[in-house]
Structure 1
Amino acid sequence: MAMHHITLNDGTHVPLLGFGTYKATKEEGIASVLAALERGYRLLDTAAKYDNEEQVGTAVRRSGIPREEVLITTKLWRENLGYQQTKQAFAESLHRLDVDYVDLYLIHWPANAKNYSNWQQANADAWRAMEELHADGRIRSIGVSNFWPEHLEALLQQAKIIPSINQIEFHPGYWQPQVVDYCKRLGITVESWSPLARGKVFGNEVLETIAKYYGKTVSQICLRWVIQHDVVVIPKSTSIARIEENLEIFDFELSAEDMQRINDLPQMGFSGELPNIWPDRVTQ
């Protein structure tokens, strides 16, 4: 399996396919990350909120793979925004991972008017701390997650560094094309979370028809669709079979017509999470 890569705006080469670890905790979490690394994954995605940074770090060390060959992503939780809070939260993540640096550090969710008296400044203060940690070499690339154009526009008024990545909910039935287009205009790489729409893609007639035509699974079709949008994808799984299956997406290509058919699918699998109203959720 030849892994394909994309180059971030800071020159970092990142695999188009990574491994998500949400809900992968305790020994099962270590085992799943180890299995992924043994099979060729080199981009790992965790977060302070996932409560599994320790397991991810343990798996990387147990794998025997040189640290510089594994890209570790973790995230700053939305209740810790601010300059000093960011420095403290990052130090705690670094300790739990037991590494000297992280490859990618993201603001997990932007501050908003419901939760911060000056949400623009809260995001900017967190970003200033991240820029300093980047300059110190403790973070290789800095980025954001779940930022809409309004949050990026405000951030860029004070930022010295443009985010390298914006990790957003992106899957058939909810792929936020306006956010994607905005990011691409700024040179910000988009990364997909929940690429299988929380399982809602399974049983979809259009996706099943396309999968049958290509001789692939619905999961593989969805992951291929994501990367053909030049979007990084980080599916999560604790199943060895699924971990292996997800790698088999580089030996075929969806036609422009099939890409459009998937683009046009009606809303499904939306998490209900919106960055401008958290912690409230909207239902489908």
Structure 2
Amino acid sequence: MTHIYIDLSRLCLTPFTTGIQRVAKEIVLRMLQDARVSVTLLCTLPSQTAWRVLPHDAFIRYYTEKTGSPYGEGRPQLLTPEDIPSGAVFFDIDSAWNMPMHRGWLFPILKAHGVTVVPHLYDLIPVTDPQYFHEQTMRQFLSWVTAVLQYADHIICNAEATKSALHTLCETLDIDAPACSVVPLGADFAKKAAAAEDEDTALLEQLPQYRYLLMVGTIEPRKNHRLLLDAVPELAKRGIKVVFAGRIGWNMDAFAKEMAKHPEKGRNFFFAQG
């Protein structure tokens, strides 16, 4: 049985679970429950050159029951890149461009030891539409993509559009595209009902009687919430309400204030902050 190593440093270090961290959590939880899969979970140490191994039981308990810590108790088991054996797979499903352990340093070591490198590519938007991202994110992402294109044995994309963007990038750079598979993201995970705020509860009670457009996800520039917010008056004439649900993301403070003061708020525009 092929053994799979997964670095979940960003998931462990992020105080909230949304977007990519939610995907990583849900997929890994299922892998741990599948007897056909052999997995070691990792989290980077402060040295950024080694990991601590995350105990399966502690990880499952923390991310399903919110008790304890994903790190477990007692003295941690440590692992360096050189410790991963030949023939193993390093599956990079978390937001790896934002990891403490730089992939431009890590991937060559893994490859030299016969480890198969399989990154998950969610999109290439920081490359194709850089105007929507912070400069630091841009630099980190470009560095990560460079390492992926140079060292990946196989890339998993979440959509055909992502695979197409990858091939277009490789053609532009005049390099061969790595082997690639498309594995669409699922939506069949169960989530315990969270305690809703009074305002959100009132909103949920109102919506069934209306026609409405719903945007769910972090409020951020690239998702173009602006277009829909500007369309609220016209949509209202057609009997359609607009609902945003999600937390406020990077560079959206001014937009958040605008939403809070929107003249149609509470009538034709609603915002449930996650």
TM over 0.5: no
Larger Rg: 2
TM range (shorter): 0.3 to 0.5
Higher relative contact order (CA 8 A, sep 6+): 1
TM-score between the two structures when normalised by the length of structure 2: 0.33
TM-score between the two structures when normalised by the length of structure 1: 0.32
